[in-house]
A = this chain, B = another copy of it.
Amino acid sequence: MGLESYQIEKVESVTMADIVEKRLLDYFKKNAFKPGDAIPKELELAEALQVSRNVVREALSRLKMLGMIESKKKRGMVLSEPDIFGGFERVLDPLILEQQTLQDLFELRMVLEMGLADLIFRRKTDDDVAELERIVQKSINQNKASFKVKHEIAFHGKLYAMTGNTTIMRFQNLLLPIFEYVVSEEEKLYGIPPISDVGHGDLVEIIKNGTPQEFKEAMRIHLSPHFDRLS
């Protein structure tokens, strides 16, 4: 067996900022710090960790970027509820992600879409259904490509909103540009996929009068132009 079979791991270059960042995270966890709790000053941390203030500032800056630390007037730095997808948002650039990662994220959105049914049926309201109907109504006789994209985003976005789960909504909003990028790259290679046998109007009808099970089957057919292109 060659070295590859053992999946030998390359030694990543670890900087002082990496080490201090990790120490700080461990320190917060071990001491059960909660949002709102004041954390020690830069100088105190530098002394406790025996590193330069610059390194501490660098590590704290990373945690500020993630929203884990806020600077408060008069109170100094406090721990805060982080933006859980803040780092994710920054790296989601189709140009710097590998093809396989883009494909993975494309599939991740399909998995989410296929998994929404139970939350939608549990939490749907008459107002939600009325809004879906308005969205579908507006799309009739509109054939411009730019309108269609907007309509797709409005319709599927409303389905996510109906889960009542703002974290899932935010996550899908972040995935959306990647999804559209992969779809448009595929269209360049293979042309525009055939239109699905199940349209948005059919999905609304099932949300109104059908079952989660029927919705799952219909959504699978609705997404089949994308599923058919998977390897």
Interface set of A (CB-CB < 8 Å, partner B): 13, 15, 17-18, 21, 25, 28-29, 32-35, 54, 57-58, 61-62, 64-68, 70-71, 79, 81-88, 90-93, 95-98, 101, 104-105, 107-108, 110-119, 122, 163, 165-168, 171, 212-213, 216-217, 220, 227, 230
Contact = CB atoms under 8 A, between A and B. Distances in A.
A96 B33 contact: yes
A29 B93 CA distance: 8
B62 A167 contact: no
A98 B34 CA distance: 10
Contacts of A117: 114
Contacts of A167: 101, 104-105, 107-108
A13 B77 CA distance: 13
B163 A28 contact: no
Contacts of A21: 65
Nearest to A160: B111
From DSSP, what is the main secondary structure of chain A's interface residues? Answer: helix
A133 B10 CA distance: 34
B165 A95 contact: no
Given A87-B90, A96-B34, A110 B104 contact: no
Contacts of A86: 87, 91
A161 to B, nearest CB: 13
Contacts of A71: 13
Contacts of A216: 213, 216
Contacts of A114: 114-115, 117-118
Contacts of A64: 15, 17
B115 A91 contact: no
B112 A111 contact: yes
